[in-house]
């Protein structure tokens, strides 16, 4: 154990660093439940999606009938170059520069058709993903963002 005399200048530094460490711990304790909830929810996505890093490392196992969700936080819509089955609506979103902010991600999951209609301005747009997730989109976003860091 390290003994810190009160008049020891170095001791003050160490204490400050400890306070900083405590603050970091408190922050990650806050974020952890969202990430864990997101991880559980991933079960609803992995039938069709995997998370695979550029070097091929599989960060979350899953199917391939949907695009790779690596780096999805902030990524441009419809931009997985290896995925060949994007809908016309998702391609249109891409060409309009739509990106996966947390708000867009949550809105898309809640209603993919409606989201693509609103961002493309095409009332007939229809997504190739038939999932409607009313809750927990934020947690999934945090989980996926954490995986890709």
* Phi, psi dihedral angles at 103 (to 5 degrees): -60, -45
Contact between 146 and 60 (Cβ < 8 Å): no
Binding residue (CB under 6 A) for ligand HEC from 87, 102, 118, 138: 87
Binding residue (CB under 6 A) for ligand HEC from 4, 34, 107, 133: 133
Question: Is residue 78 near ligand HEC by the rule CB under 6 A?
Answer: yes
Binding residue (CB under 6 A) for ligand HEC from 80, 92, 145, 147: 80
**Minimum gap (Å) between residue 102 Cβ and ligand HEC:** 11
- From the list 3-11, 19-27, 50-58, 127-135, the region that binds ligand HEC by CB under 6 A is 127-135
Binding residue (CB under 6 A) for ligand HEC from 36, 47, 95, 135: 47
**Minimum gap (Å) between residue 31 Cβ and ligand HEC:** 18
CA gap 42, 51 in Å, rounded:
11
CA gap 53, 50 in Å, rounded:
10
Q: Vertex 97, ends 74 and 126: CA angle to 5°?
A: 95
Binding residue (CB under 6 A) for ligand HEC from 4, 44, 113, 146: 44
Long-range contacts of 114-117 (CB under 8 A, 24+ apart): 116/87, 116/89, 116/90, 116/92, 117/89
Q: Which residue is nearest to ligand HEC (CB)?
A: 45
Question: Is residue 73 near ligand HEC by the rule CB under 6 A?
Answer: no
Contact between 60 and 42 (Cβ < 8 Å): yes
Contact between 129 and 66 (Cβ < 8 Å): yes
The binding site for ligand HEC (CB under 6 A) comprises 44-45, 47-49, 65-67, 72, 77-80, 86-87, 89-90, 100, 105, 109, 127-129, 131, 133, 140
């Amino acid at each position: 154990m390290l003994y810190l005399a009160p008049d020891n200048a170095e001791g003050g530094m160490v204490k400050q660093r400890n306070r900083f460490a405590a603050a970091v711990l408190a922050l990650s304790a806050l974020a952890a439940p969202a990430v864990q909830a997101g991880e559980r929810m991933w079960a609803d996505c992995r039938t069709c999606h995997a998370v695979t890093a550029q070097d091929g490392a599989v960060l979350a196992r899953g199917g391939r009938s949907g695009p790779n969700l690596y780096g999805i936080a902030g990524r441009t819509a419809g931009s997985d170059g290896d995925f060949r089955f994007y809908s016309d609506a998702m391609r249109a979103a891409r060409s309009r520069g739509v990106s996966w902010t947390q708000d867009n991600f949550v809105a898309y999951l809640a209603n993919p058709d409606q989201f693509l209609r609103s961002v493309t301005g095409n009332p007939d747009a229809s997504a190739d993903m038939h999932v409607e997730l009313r809750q927990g989109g934020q947690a999934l976003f945090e989980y996926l963002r954490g995986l890709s860091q």
